[in-house]
């Protein structure tokens, strides 16, 4: 299993295609949620793409963004269907959080059924549950001084 981290401009066309295909396969096709997957944030300066890959391509993925207010934002966390149950997304979460500069708060919008999973990485609910594209979500935050996974 290979772990990769790259800015958009450093991705090969084949890597970019494979990462976007994984996201569409999970969020649009599997979850039956047609929404604008390509939101423009992938190509923002500073957006990092983290993924694990095997001989069949990307197995797990997340992106790490810089919000205008200075907070880090984790999003698009997903795992290929045949690679689930092996803690791959957890490996990426740990890598993303370990790579942040000290003193930086991190936020994300979790699918509601995954709030417990994100809590393992120091995230707590920071607002009420809401619907996004028909799926319940919860805003979550991890304070700058939060520790690593427990």
Q: What is the per-residue pLDDT across 53-96, written as a single tens digit (0 to 9) for each?
A: 999 999 999 999 999 999 999 999 999 999 999 999 999 999 99
Q: Supply 127's token pair.
A: 């607002």
Instruction: Give residue for tokens 């994300």.
Output: 108
Query: Angle at CA 100, nearest 5°, toward 99 and 101?
Result: 120
pLDDT of the residue at 36: 80
- CA 71, distance to chain mean position in Å, is 15
H helix or E strand, kind and range, residue 59: strand 57-66
pLDDT of the residue at 150: 41
Q: Check pLDDT > 90 for residue 117.
A: yes
Is beta strand 124-125 parallel, antiparallel or unpaired with respect to 135-142? antiparallel
DSSP-assigned letter for residue 102: T
Grouping H, G, I as helix, E, B as strand and the rest as coil, residue 83 is helix
Choose between 37 and 79: higher pLDDT. Answer: 79
- Domains (range + CATH), the chain: 2-142 (3.40.630.30)
Is beta strand 124-125 parallel, antiparallel or unpaired with respect to 130-132? unpaired
C-beta neighbour count of 131 within 10 angstroms: 9
pTM of the prediction?
Answer: 0.90
- In which band, very low, low, confident or very high, does the pLDDT at 145 lie, cut at 50, 70 and 90? low
CA distances from 6 to 10, 11, 47, 95, 133 (A): 6, 6, 8, 13, 28
């Amino acid at each position: 299993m290979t772990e990769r981290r790259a800015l958009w401009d450093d991705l090969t066309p084949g890597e970019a295609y494979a990462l976007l295909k994984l996201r569409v396969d999970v969020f649009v096709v599997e979850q039956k949620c047609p929404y604008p997957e390509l939101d423009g944030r992938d190509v923002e300066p500073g957006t990092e793409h983290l993924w694990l890959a095997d001989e069949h391509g990307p197995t797990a993925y997340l992106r790490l963004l810089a919000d205008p207010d200075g907070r880090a934002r984790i999003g698009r966390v997903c795992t290929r269907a045949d690679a689930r149950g092996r803690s791959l997304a957890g490996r990426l979460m740990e890598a993303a959080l370990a790579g942040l500069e000290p003193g930086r708060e991190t936020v994300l919008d979790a699918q509601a059924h995954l709030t417990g999973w994100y809590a393992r990485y120091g995230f707590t609910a920071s607002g009420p549950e809401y619907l996004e594209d028909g799926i319940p979500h919860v805003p979550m935050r991890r304070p700058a001084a939060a520790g690593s996974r427990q």
